[in-house]
Homo-oligomer: A and B are copies of this chain.
C-alpha cells in the first residue's frame, strides 16, 4: 500500500467535502439550488477553491452524480443475500432499491436527472458515463433472473428486457412516493410491486418465505 503524501490527502479531503456538500444541497433543495457559491459555503471553503478540484460546474455535477450512482449500486448489492434463492434475491433487490431511494432523496433525484440529461442529444456525450452505472445495475438484475431461469425457478423469458422492466417499476414506484402520490408505507408499495411481478417471473404465485419482500 502506498503512503499518501500530504498533498494527496488534502486533495482527497477537499474533493470529498465538496462532493458531499453538493449532494446535501441536491437532497435538500434539488438541482436548481446547486450554485458554486452554495456548494462552497456548505463545504466551508470559497468558490474559487472549488475550481482547484473541479474543472467547472459540469464536472462537479458529473462527479457528484457518479458518486451517488455508485453508492446506490453498492448499497443495493450489499443487501442481497448470496445464499437466497432467485425470487428471494429479486425481493431483496427491489426492496432495498426502494429503501435506498426513499432514504436518499438525492439518489432518486439523480436517477431522474440522469435520464433527463441523456434525453438531450447534444449533451448526451457529456453525461454518457453515467449510463454505465445503470447498465451495471441492469446486468445485476439480469444475472439474478438468468440464475432463476437456469434453476427453473422462473419461466423462460427475455431476461434483459425483464430486468429493464423491473428497474423501471421500482423507480416509478419510488417516484410516485416522492411526488406525494402514495401514502402507503414503503413496505406495502414494495410488496404490491413484487406481487405484480410474481406471475411474470414465476408463472405462478411464489411461495413467500419469511424475509422475502417482507
Whether A17 sits at the interface, judged by CB under 8 Å, is no
Binds B, one of A3-11, A54-62, A76-84, A115-123: A115-123
Whether A132 sits at the interface, judged by CB under 8 Å, is no
Binding site for B on A (CB under 8 A): 29-30, 105, 108-109, 112-113, 115-116, 118-122, 124, 131, 158, 161-162, 164-165, 168-169, 171-173, 175-176, 178-181, 192-193, 196, 199-200, 203
Expressed in whole angstroms, the minimum distance between the Cβ of A36 and any Cβ of chain B is 14
Contact for A121 among B113, B180, B181, CB less than 8 A: B180
* Cβ contact within 8 Å between B30 and A120: yes
A165 contact set on B, CB distance < 8 A: 169, 172, 193, 196
The residue of chain B having its C-beta at the shortest distance from the C-beta of A172 within the complex is B168
* Cβ contact within 8 Å between B115 and A29: no
Complex: A124 Cα to B30 Cα, angstroms: 12
Complex: A108 Cα to B119 Cα, angstroms: 10
Expressed in whole angstroms, the minimum distance between the Cβ of A175 and any Cβ of chain B is 6
A116 contact set on B, CB distance < 8 A: 30, 112-113, 116
Complex: A192 Cα to B158 Cα, angstroms: 9
Expressed in whole angstroms, the minimum distance between the Cβ of A22 and any Cβ of chain B is 16
The residue of chain B having its C-beta at the shortest distance from the C-beta of A32 within the complex is B120
Since A112-B115, A161-B196 are in contact, a sample of 17 more A-B pairs with Cβ atoms closer than 8 Å, ordered by chain A residue number, is A29-B122, A30-B116, A108-B119, A109-B119, A112-B119, A115-B175, A118-B180, A124-B180, A131-B179, A162-B196, A164-B172, A168-B173, A169-B169, A172-B172, A196-B200, A199-B199, A199-B200
